[in-house]
Amino acid sequence: MPSLLYCEKRPSKLFLAMLSASMVGTMLGGAQVSAQVSTTYKEQQDRQGQVTQYGKPDVTGLWYHINQKQTQLANQELGRLKSAFPQWIVPSDIETALYQLNNPSKPSDVVTNQAASNPGSSKTPSKNKVAKDAPLQKFAQKTSAQRAFISAGEFTQLSTLANNLARYDYHMLLGWTALDKGLLSDAQHHFERAEALYETAVQKKGVVDGKRAIVNARIQSALGNSASNVNLKDSIARESTAQLKSMLLGANGQQVSETLLGEAWKRYDAERYQGAYVLFVLLDNHEGVWLSLRGQGENAKAGAYACEQASSQKFLTRCADFLASEQAEYYNNGQFQRSVDAGLALRDIRRLSPDEQALLGWSASQASTSLTDENAQIARDAFSATLASQRTAGEASNIDIANALIGLENAEGRAALAKKYPSVAHILQQQNAASAWPRKQFILSYNLEDARATTAQTKDAHTVVAGLTTRSRSGDEGLGNFDVFTSYIGVGGMVDSWQWQVALDYQQLYSGKPVTNSWFADGQASDDFAGIAGFEDKGLRAEITYQQTAFNFYANLEYELFDQPVDAELTGQLSATWFLPEVTLATTLFHLPKTDSLLSQAGTFNSEQTERWGYVIADGISVLAAHSFKPQWSVAGTLTWASLSGDGVADNKYLSLRTDVNYNLAPQISTTLDYWRVGPFFSYLGYDENLSGFTYGHGGYFSPNYMLSIGGYSELLTMEAHRWQFKLSTSLGLSRLAEPSDPRFPLLTANDTSNSLSSLNLPYSRSTGLSGNMMFEGQYRLSDEWIVAGYVGKAFAVEYQAFEAGIQIRWRPGKGEGVTSDELMRSSPRLSGFAL
């Protein structure tokens, strides 16, 4: 079997031809050649120019030299082809042609020709000497297969004979035979002896080729691919690796390196990537290592290796490609932090593309645990860099990125981003419009061009409004009754998102006369009461409303009843509402008159109209908080505290509390309902002093020591932006109140013996009963410009009843198909108390 392998490397006829050439060189005067084996492999960069299949070289040039009788060139070309293609089997026709070319005189007996061709040479054997080398001559005429199968003893005898004869040709013959038999030490011996005997350059080259063949054989043996092993293995034993490393560092390092490189590329082309990888690593061939890893499907290892060798542009590019792939793969696998790391490493190598920037942002935002951590900042930077290259605000990819960037910023940061990036501004406008509508911020919704708001009605045109209202309070007979009738006309408009309105009021107030013997002013009223029972007067009021994202503001100023008994003051309210993520918070500061009676609202005169007192002003604050704790469920609480004072009226304070829980039934009832909230409530009202009387020092307003109410309520509103809309509010509960026996003249020193009035007190009262109210509001769009609205309500409690109603007509130019609840008459913060 070894001879078969060797025949594939170097056929027997060729060896005979080349051996004969060396023996008859002097006689012919031509070039002499020696048998040679070379396994050098061309560099990787030249491989594409070679034949695509090892073992089948282009022999056109060889045939040309043979046909032109160019013996030396033909032998050199054959040697080159054998060196470049170690596994090539030389065709028999080429062997025959070369033999005839090298032996033109007598192609039969090699040794006889050699002897005849050198009759005068000092190295030409004599007749006796010819007899001595007969065994070698006979051995030379055998085929290479026959020579390879000689016994060890016979080979030893021939080696001894060759040593004694000291002829170049016989040492070369035995050197190649030893190589065929795998006797590398013997082959080394004979080639070194031949090296000492060569005479021509061709002979020297034969020795060099032989010694190179030994090196190649040692390499093949270490690779497990030698002539003694048919099975080709990819793995290399540790000992063999050490041997190859030693050979690379030895005198034949260049040959070893070239041979191993050729073997490595052969394995690579044969898709034996693991074996190629081992050799490329041994040779420190970066290109081969990278390609072999890729061939094995070890893309991650190949990429990491490319990054290790990133000192060259080629590997720098490969490293970048690997990191870009890793960045995407890690993200797709949900390994967001590793995707971030890959993206950052890629950014250190080259500028990220917009898609890579965006992916870095997505990975970092997913890996982030808070808005203040490092990943959050990485995401902000990456998304910002992506948006900086945007073309239009509405591009889908930009919208997604802008949405993510918005989620990483607080309100202040979002505002800054909106100024910088059109897509952020576009999204924020859409988000704000979408959130403004359910919050009943219809002015903001209109300004943000929400289609629902702009279709429903025009908000920024001038408005003319006129209306009538009436309210009636029935309590104790006489002064306990109070009626107010108001007519008004106003104009309004909008400037830079600020909605304004001014109105002129005309009011008629009527209280009735005190009942005979009832306490009034400084004593008990008589039948001939000459004081005022009411009056009519004019007033001015102005208000502004402003709505911004998650914020409402409202303010009003009034100067009512120019000629009322007690000089009027400038009154009004400041109200603000914040729509926070978890809670809606509203607060109002107010400076308003108590409107329970003529005495508390405007003041009055005594029966002789010589003294005036009253006009009670409440200075206080109201706070409301509401929270939706689960779908359709919410809880709310309201607190109001105020200090009261008036002209000739004792000071007082009060505290009001209310809490309720409600559930929205609308989704289960009808799609025409915006909401229908039902639930229980509890309220408390308490004053420091009972100043409900109509004598000096009293203010004529309801001021119990306490009033507790518990019950249920319902509030229903139909859908927004329809042509008509109504709102219905009802409540029913059980109330308990107590009115203490406080002084009838609280400004007098108690029990002053000089004034008998100082010891008089109000009667003590405590009662329990039902209380409730019902309010119906509605509005209807008559046309694009005209809307009519109204309300009617009724309330009752222990010894108390009240009624109120109103109607209004509005004109506003522009188009409109519906109405919104912010323009229901009692939805104004002036009446509701909060900017909601």
Rg (CA), the chain: 56
Q: What is the pLDDT of residue 235?
A: 65
Give the mean model confidence (pLDDT) for residues 782-806.
94
Q: What is the pLDDT of residue 98?
A: 81
Pick from 687, 669, 686: which is nearest to 678 by CA? 669
Per-residue HEC secondary structure of 330-377 comes to: HHHCCCHHHHHHHHHHHHHHCCCCHHHHHHHHHHHHHHCCCCCCHHHH
Strand partners, 775: 729, 793
- In the chain, the largest separation of any two C-alpha atoms, in whole Å, equals 182
Residue-wise pLDDT tens digits, 56-80: 687 877 887 887 778 888 888 888 8
In the predicted structure, residue 639 carries a pLDDT above the cut 80: yes
Q: Are 64 and 17 in contact (CB under 8 A)?
A: no
Q: What is the pLDDT of residue 294?
A: 92
pLDDT band of 596, cuts 50, 70, 90: very high
- In the numeric block, which tokens belong to residue 523? 């004593």
One-letter amino acid at 600 equals: S
In the predicted structure, residue 27 carries a pLDDT above the cut 60: no
* Residue 471 backbone phi and psi in degrees, to 5: -145, 145
Contacts of 57 (CB under 8 A, 6+ apart): 51, 81, 84, 85, 88
- In the numeric block, which tokens belong to residue 290? 């990278």
Domains of the chain (ranges, CATH numbers): 2-232 (no CATH), 233-297 (no CATH), 300-439 (1.25.40), 451-832 (2.40.160)
Q: What is the pLDDT of residue 789?
A: 98
**Residue 495's Cα: distance from chain center in Å?**
40
Q: What is the pLDDT of residue 668?
A: 95
Q: What is the pLDDT of residue 240?
A: 76
Contacts of 228 (CB under 8 A, 6+ apart): 2, 182, 221
Cα separation of 702 and 795, whole Å?
Answer: 15
Q: What is the pLDDT of residue 103?
A: 66
In the predicted structure, residue 697 carries a pLDDT above the cut 50: yes
- In the numeric block, which tokens belong to residue 6? 């060797």
pLDDT band of 558, cuts 50, 70, 90: very high
Report the phi/psi class of residue 299: left, alpha or beta, with left for phi > 0 and alpha for psi in -120 to 50.
Answer: alpha
Q: Are 755 and 784 in contact (CB under 8 A)?
A: no
- In the numeric block, which tokens belong to residue 547? 């709505």
In the predicted structure, residue 227 carries a pLDDT above the cut 60: no
**Residue 222's Cα: distance from chain center in Å?**
55
Report the phi/psi class of residue 590: left, alpha or beta, with left for phi > 0 and alpha for psi in -120 to 50.
Answer: beta
Q: Given the structure tokens 């008994």, which residue do they identify?
A: 565
In the predicted structure, residue 83 carries a pLDDT above the cut 90: no
pLDDT band of 111, cuts 50, 70, 90: very low
In the predicted structure, residue 95 carries a pLDDT above the cut 90: no
pLDDT band of 23, cuts 50, 70, 90: very low
Residue-wise pLDDT tens digits, 233-260: 466 767 777 888 888 888 888 888 888 8
Q: Are 263 and 232 in contact (CB under 8 A)?
A: no
Q: What is the pLDDT of residue 396?
A: 55
Pick from 36, 9, 3, 8: which is nearest to 22 by CA? 36
Q: Given the structure tokens 């919104």, which residue do they identify?
A: 820
Q: Given the structure tokens 């051995």, which residue do they identify?
A: 139
Q: Are 659 and 635 in contact (CB under 8 A)?
A: yes
Strand partners, 514: none
Residue-wise pLDDT tens digits, 614-633: 999 999 999 999 999 999 99
Helix, strand, coil share of the chain (percent; to 5): 40, 30, 30
Residue-wise pLDDT tens digits, 357-384: 999 999 999 999 988 899 999 999 999 8
* Residue 698 backbone phi and psi in degrees, to 5: -90, 160
Strand 584-593, strand 604-605: pairing? unpaired
Query: Within 10 Å of residue 630's Cβ, how many Cβ atoms?
Result: 7
Strand 786-797, strand 800-811: pairing? antiparallel
**Least confident residue range of 93-102, 162-171, 385-394, 739-748:** 385-394
Pick from 522, 506, 524: which is nearest to 514 by CA? 524
Pick from 108, 441, 410, 87: which is nearest to 270 by CA? 87
Q: Are 449 and 433 in contact (CB under 8 A)?
A: yes
Give the mean model confidence (pLDDT) for residues 599-608.
91
Residue-wise pLDDT tens digits, 647-680: 999 999 999 999 999 999 999 999 999 999 999 9
Q: Are 691 and 648 in contact (CB under 8 A)?
A: no
Pick from 321, 83, 307, 380: which is nearest to 206 by CA? 83
Cα separation of 448 and 446, whole Å?
Answer: 5
pLDDT band of 409, cuts 50, 70, 90: confident
Mutual angle of helices 253-269 and 238-249, in 10-degree steps: 130
> How many residues make up the chain in this entry?
836
Task: Please give the share of the chain, as a percent, with pLDDT higher than 90.
Answer: 53
**DSSP H or E segment with residue 775:** strand 765-781
Helix (H, G, I), strand (E, B) or coil at 597: coil
Query: Within 10 Å of residue 609's Cβ, how many Cβ atoms?
Result: 12
Q: What is the pLDDT of residue 397?
A: 64
pTM metric for this prediction: 0.64
Cα separation of 535 and 539, whole Å?
Answer: 13
Cα separation of 204 and 34, whole Å?
Answer: 9
